[in-house]
Amino acid sequence: MTRTREECAALDAADPLAGFRAEFALPEGVIYLDGNSLGALPRRTPERVRELVEVEWGQQLIRSWNDAGWFALPHTLGARIAPLVGAAAGQVVVCDTTSVNLFKVLTAALRLRPGRRTVLAEQAAFPTDLYIAEGVTGLVEGTRSVLLPSAADLDGMLDEDVAVVLLSHVDYRTGELLDMAGITRRVQQAGALMIWDVCHSVGALPIELDACGVDFAVGCTYKYLNGGPGSPAFLYAAERHQAAAAQPLSGWFGHARPFDFEPGYEPLPGIGKFLTSSPSMLGQVALGASLDIWERADLQAVRAKSLALTDLFVELVEPLKLEVATPRASERRGSQIALRHPDGYPVVQALIERGVIGDFRAPDLMRFGFTPLYVGYRDVWDAAHHLAEVLESGEWRAERFNRRGAVT
């Protein structure tokens, strides 16, 4: 391998983000390269959750809806996520799941483009996005969902029937990063609205929803944002659309006067109309604890380190002669590296037994996520070293690595 472990140690010593590692409670002996699936536990989260459970719920009980700010959390957490996605105030709320929020913005967007019938979504999107597009267009009379073979085919398919284009900013398998500004412009020039799924980019790189003129976006908080398993999702609706937008999951949290208990729905005037009902407070406060860290993290530094870590990993695994599915150009790459191997599943399992946790996506992708707040350069060296040993030794052929669980 080209770089030595000592050189990597020197990079760690000079890393301006190195101090963040202590903010996370990672297990001993583990190199965690799956923060693009489930982010690590922030060290202060357990105490914040304990306080929520034992004091706010247990002792203050129902009064916490007012006194502890529970009722406002979907808004206050949204305001804290806004800078991470380049959004001015009043355009982000934290609620429900990515799929549910996509349902809301997709129906809202379709209604803003009456006369157009088509939702265009990339075939390689995380499948739940496609399933939700099917669900929406199956319900809204006269609309249809069409698969885009790849983002490169977009221009040829942007006809006057396209109401909405839905794309992932970073591909969940290959880690390819799309050109948000350019694609959004072309979609809007064709008269359609643009929805971005930023699940795999938020917290991994700077996002500029406002500057790119994006119409709507959805994202999750349990990957790079470290909100915890199943932590609440968020949605962005550009201020210019909020007055005219309407979404059908019109629950009481989005009502203009929820505590008047009126039988007729009247939405809040702004982003609040995208709320539906009571969120999990445990999930919301755990996310809040994680966002405390993000308030001190410089996204430009995060991006610089992400590119350095992923470059280093590609360089170190080059002798293994595996196909790198992730684009090499930095402007086309998120914060993960995907390597193809026909027996990727057992290879990943063998790595996990060695304490190097990545994951596998069918049919042949080994995914390694690099989260700059808690992964260092020596971790990358060690992970590449283990991968080389697993492949050279053939240990992945052992029967125990070939039994699949429900989640692979």
Interaction with a copy of itself in 89-128: which residues (CB under 8 A)?
96-100, 103, 107, 123, 125-128
- Total residues contacting a copy of itself by CB under 8 A comes to 96
CB of 77 to a copy of itself, least distance (A): 13
**Binding residue ranges for pyridoxal 5'-phosphate:** 98-99, 126-129, 197, 200, 222, 252
Sequence-separated (6 or more) residues with CB below 8 Å from residue 21: 373, 374, 376
For residues 98 and 218, is the Cβ–Cβ distance under 8 A? yes
Report residue 390 CA to chain centroid gap.
30
CB of 212 to a copy of itself, least distance (A): 26
227 vs 376 by CB, closer to a copy of itself: 227
Rounded CA-CA distance 340/262 in Å is: 57
- Residue 397 half-sphere exposure toward CB, CA atoms < 13 A: 4
Site for a copy of itself in 223-262 (CB under 8 A): 228-232, 246-252, 254-255, 258-262
For residues 77 and 284, is the Cβ–Cβ distance under 8 A? yes
114 vs 263 by CB, closer to a copy of itself: 263
Cα dihedral value 97, 100, 105, 106, nearest 10 = 130
Site for a copy of itself in 138-167 (CB under 8 A): 138-141, 147
261 vs 392 by CB, closer to a copy of itself: 261
111 vs 185 by CB, closer to a copy of itself: 111
CB of 148 to a copy of itself, least distance (A): 11
**Binding residue ranges:** 98-99, 126-129, 197, 200, 222, 252
CB of 50 to a copy of itself, least distance (A): 6
103 vs 377 by CB, closer to a copy of itself: 103
Contact track, a copy of itself, 25-44, x by CB under 8 A: xxx--x-x-x--xx-xx---
Site for a copy of itself in 290-309 (CB under 8 A): none
CB of 191 to a copy of itself, least distance (A): 23
Q: Catalytic amino acids?
A: 126, 197, 222-223, 367
From 2, 6, 59, 329, residue interacting with a copy of itself (rule: CB under 8 A)? 59
From 120, 136, 151, 178, residue interacting with a copy of itself (rule: CB under 8 A)? 136
From 284, 306, 326, 371, residue interacting with a copy of itself (rule: CB under 8 A)? 284
Which structure tokens are listed for 67?
A: 């006194």
**Greatest CA separation found in the chain?**
69
Partnered with residue 196 across adjacent β-strands are: 167, 217
Site for a copy of itself in 201-220 (CB under 8 A): 220
CB of 253 to a copy of itself, least distance (A): 8
Asked if residue 22 binds a copy of itself (CB under 8 A), the reply is: no
Partnered with residue 202 across adjacent β-strands are: 205
